[in-house]
Amino acid sequence: MRSLHKAHKMSARCPGPSEVQDSEENADETAPVVTMGLLQPLKTFSIKDISVNVHIRQLTDLETDNFKLRFKISSSEDDMVHMTNVHQAKVESLKNEISDKQRLVCLASKAMDLMGKNYEENLKEIRQQNDTEERILKSRIQELETALKEHENKLRDSASSVCRDGHS
């Protein structure tokens, strides 16, 4: 590319007076001669010289465009690599977050199972205590009812004995 660029720079210069005369002498008889008023008002160039300069300018423009496009491609590739890295980091972060949440759900499930088992065990124990207390209370009620009946019978017996004694 450098040798092409150097050759391009050498050929892009304006022709000297002897070169213009040589090109005019060798120029095609039918080709018109153009006067370049802005660059060198007294010199004339053939169409062949102008078309070479146009081709050189086009080549320079194409090289510039090529460089710009390669730069854009390189920048786009860098952006894509960066975006891919960011995307991969986000994916890894989300995977870790999912893993943590799955672990927490598993722990919560185990805790709920344990709490359920503890609840059932506590409920069973409470029912047994209630049944025991109920039996004790029923037994006590029965004892008290029996004692009440005995006491009522004693009162009746003593009231009937007082009544018998008082009538006599």
For 63-72, what is each residue's pLDDT tens digit? 999 999 999 9
pTM (predicted TM-score): 0.39
3-state secondary structure of 14: coil
Can you tell me the distance from the alpha carbon of 87 to that of 72, in angstroms, rounded to the nearest whole number?
22
Can you tell me the distance from the alpha carbon of 20 to that of 13, in angstroms, rounded to the nearest whole number?
12
SS3 for 27-96 is: CCCCCCEEECCCCCCCCEEEHHHHHHHHHHHHHHHHHHHHHHHHHHHHHHHHHHHHHHHHHHHHHHHHHH
For 87-132, what is each residue's pLDDT tens digit? 999 999 999 999 999 999 999 999 999 888 888 898 899 999 999 9
